[in-house]
Structure 1
């Protein structure tokens, strides 16, 4: 997910690579699907992209070896027709279907190898999916074998993530893409990917206009079942109320970010709304490595601040009770979470801990994206955090930012508190360890420490993670529970609420569902 990138200079790249957008489509055009959402696009390159909009875009344009079934737990074939795994989860072999890319060329094992090596070597936000990959071999044109350095029972799940979508290597390389070990510096293809695509999926990229519109075109050469629409238009509509109005008036077919309260206000008989549980969550994150915070945001102070938050009130305040509390940065319902107990507010203990740490009268600043995610208005959410911190004598200054400014300032450690969100990339708890655990080299260690990992690294977590990946069943579940408990002790990532998801669409639209890997599977949607 979900999801964000610290890529610098993105705005310039977006402008450089953007095609001029055609006139907006109307939802009444039967052959066009129009979707309203506030777009959080950081890139349209599968190996660099990391956002919720990216998830359903990539799934529609680039296909993975395996994908997640409608039960959100079971892996099913996609580009691979079958696969084999050795006993210790270190070798994974896939037999490919006779699929073709949008230009008509065959999808071959060499494309898969190139894609995975590039995903690893670009060192972008989704590169953690290829952590530990040591071997990638095209056994023959339709067989590919991967080797990982240590047992990794989640590798199969990882390759179902949208960011592992297979790229046409020849086309991408002709436009500046690189897969070698120097790809992070040598690859110059990002502007090209903002205006073009090179996948095998049912759609292709037609055009992208930042903060305005993302337009997909039907892949007329698609090797599988043809999609129902000739084009899909994702149009930028920032807030839930405006999205609901566009849905009621028929300007859009689907609204992706309507909150439960706004859903109740919809009176049109032409609109269907469903409230479903999700694996998404919003959280605040502490950054002890931020300027002036090294001796301030100690583990004791972070634990005290965690006790200051009114989690029950937060649930009511943000989503009107339409969601769930979440203990650790692993979503409810994922392996290991049944053994975790969500935090409870304890104002008096928080005050005592702050006093003992000499942190009375503490002043902090929170920088966060000025957005509405999963029906949660981040400004409202952070006002609640501000109130809760004030109750224990901590002053929190709120600093809402544009996405571009937020990315830049987060990487520079400009403020010690942030807020953001996460959606699953696949079904499996390992992705949350790989992203949030305080294990040296992992993404949130870098963000929280700002180059001083000794401030946050938790040595116990690396051993537990290795155990979780080398086992299965109850033993793996127990390791993930222990990891969740350790991450709660770290008090770097504090989940605030797991919001229910509102599916909102016009009555003539069918096939709208929530996917734990892909957000919204566009190819399944039809018009009656």
Structure 2
């Protein structure tokens, strides 16, 4: 977590700024590489999207930038037995349309979030039922002892039953940019209200003066304008010209220049996201090899060949300019369940790659398309561009398909039935616990499992371990089980972890007094103060 302060300016400047403050509202303009995917709080498990949902909608608990949990719509909680939690709800809360918040909204939100197709269903997958005891008490019944229930609740967003039902919006709709009512409109209890969302142009929010915490808020924004700016040079130019007050990520090649620019601060720190590649291990025939009846990725030796072909140190040095940590793990340092031994990357050995391909019956390689976003992660397309010659060196005929994040996620995800053979994805576990990775990326066999397991990878022992870990309360035993699952996955080359990227934000210090950089690389407006 990084903070910075601004120096005191002259009396004359203070006078001028005071006059300007009377005439102008405090507007915070910020930008990142791509737009949100939608406003439906129970769809689109995507970092930028969740950050916007997180200030519009309330949840039972709120996660502060230091990852600690604090009351939001629940004021207290306790366990009544191994599977029953009692939550006392905050009284006097209203939704943005003035509708009172009650326990029935929590029950309704659980039903809506847990329906098939809801991407946020993983946050409530361990819950069997939610029961309203009275207007301000709910019981949450879990499927078994759940050591991380509270860690998931900050992303269990609460909607107004009355609002959703009045607009026939119980059902979720898949796909980035879906035009159903819930994806285009928002009515939460959070600290900010939606004013307008013009897709791929701007999203405008204003403070919710009826928010339960309004009297104690420390942010002083009158209006927040989020603007997706995909082009790196354009985004940097907007920061330098003062068109925007903050942007992320800073293109790595521009960090030194911005560090020398007056009134600009570059904030850097570790991120908890792992960037990785995945393979289609489900289809019997690779989509790039029609008529062959063969899917090479079902052979462990082929996956091992790909692992040994990638020079992660070169990617770190040349593409990432040192701002990444090569890894062999799907779990980043700082996530509960991280293991230092598994973190060690696969050995770079292209000669061994060629031997493995020959052993697998592909001495001349095979064709494959690499699906990659070009506006989601730091240097995402450049990383994929670097991977292409590394794989061609061992005989793989790679075609790069790089496109904007909404199209990319639709293609490789459930919207288009995982229409990919080889893909890039990045993941930060929303619970900050390794089980989230097993649940979303590495298993298939259970409720809300495998939503972003785009290659449909599965292993019977990992499926079994997932279910055991989910109800194991003893920390040491749980760590051993997590380690076993991760080791099996690594030995099986279920995915190809590349690195954990570093955070780099650019902030105009002549406009922003304080902003807190969260390790999940998004902006929470609660922690922004303007001049």
Query: What are the Cα deviations for residues 258-312 of structure 1, in whole angstroms up to 9, with x where unaligned?
Result: 1333221214211111110010122111113242475311222112211211111
Residue 345, structure 1, aligned to residue 348, structure 2: yes
Give the C-alpha shift of residue 445 in structure 1. Answer: 7.8
Residue 207, structure 1, aligned to residue 196, structure 2: yes
Report matched runs for 1:150-161 at 5 Å: 150-161=144-155
Query: What are the Cα deviations for residues 222-267 of structure 1, in whole angstroms up to 9, with x where unaligned?
Result: 2212552221111121133322221111100110221333221214
Partner Cα separation in structure 2 for residue 316 and residue 154 of structure 1: 37
**What corresponds to 1:475 in structure 2?**
477
**What corresponds to 2:323 in structure 1?**
322
**What corresponds to 1:462 in structure 2?**
463
Give the C-alpha shift of residue 29 in structure 1. Answer: 5.5
TM-score, with normalisation over the residues of structure 2? 0.85
**What corresponds to 1:520 in structure 2?**
523
**What corresponds to 1:37 in structure 2?**
32
Partner Cα separation in structure 2 for residue 518 and residue 200 of structure 1: 23
Residue 104, structure 1, aligned to residue 98, structure 2: yes
- 1:437/1:444 contact within 8 Å kept: no
Partner Cα separation in structure 1 for residue 371 and residue 35 of structure 2: 13
Partner Cα separation in structure 2 for residue 304 and residue 205 of structure 1: 49
Specify which of 416, 422, 432 is matched with residue 417 of structure 1. 422
TM-score, with normalisation over the residues of structure 1? 0.85
Specify which of 224, 232, 243 is matched with residue 224 of structure 2. 232
SS in 1 for 2:332: coil
Partner Cα separation in structure 1 for residue 513 and residue 257 of structure 2: 22
**What corresponds to 1:334 in structure 2?**
335
Partner Cα separation in structure 2 for residue 444 and residue 62 of structure 1: 23
Residue 285, structure 1, aligned to residue 278, structure 2: yes
Relative to structure 1, is the Cα distance of residues 428 and 85 closer, same or farther in structure 2, using a 3 angstrom cutoff? Answer: farther
Relative to structure 1, is the Cα distance of residues 91 and 259 closer, same or farther in structure 2, using a 3 angstrom cutoff? Answer: farther
Relative to structure 1, is the Cα distance of residues 476 and 146 closer, same or farther in structure 2, using a 3 angstrom cutoff? Answer: same
Specify which of 410, 424, 433 is matched with residue 438 of structure 2. 433
- 2:444/2:453 contact within 8 Å kept: no
Specify which of 47, 50, 53 is matched with residue 48 of structure 2. 53
Partner Cα separation in structure 1 for residue 334 and residue 327 of structure 2: 10
**What corresponds to 1:276 in structure 2?**
269
Residue 165, structure 1, aligned to residue 157, structure 2: yes
- 2:271/2:520 contact within 8 Å kept: no
Query: What are the Cα deviations for residues 355-377 of structure 1, in whole angstroms up to 9, with x where unaligned?
Result: 11112222333343442334x22
Partner Cα separation in structure 2 for residue 123 and residue 415 of structure 1: 19
Query: What are the Cα deviations for residues 157-182 of structure 1, in whole angstroms up to 9, with x where unaligned?
Result: 11112xx1111111121111227xxx
SS in 1 for 2:129: strand
Partner Cα separation in structure 2 for residue 386 and residue 417 of structure 1: 12
Relative to structure 1, is the Cα distance of residues 517 and 108 closer, same or farther in structure 2, using a 3 angstrom cutoff? Answer: farther
Report matched runs for 1:8-23 at 5 Å: none
**What corresponds to 2:166 in structure 1?**
174
How many residues get paired? 484
Query: Which stretch of the first structure deviates more once superposed, 272-281 or 360-369?
Result: 360-369
**What corresponds to 1:127 in structure 2?**
121
Query: Which stretch of the first structure deviates more once superposed, 196-205 or 413-422?
Result: 413-422
Structure 2 stretches lacking a partner, 5+ long: 1-22
Higher-Rg member (1/2): 2
Relative to structure 1, is the Cα distance of residues 147 and 184 closer, same or farther in structure 2, using a 3 angstrom cutoff? Answer: farther
Relative to structure 1, is the Cα distance of residues 268 and 517 closer, same or farther in structure 2, using a 3 angstrom cutoff? Answer: closer
- 1:61/1:203 contact within 8 Å kept: yes
Partner Cα separation in structure 1 for residue 422 and residue 515 of structure 2: 36
**What corresponds to 1:254 in structure 2?**
246
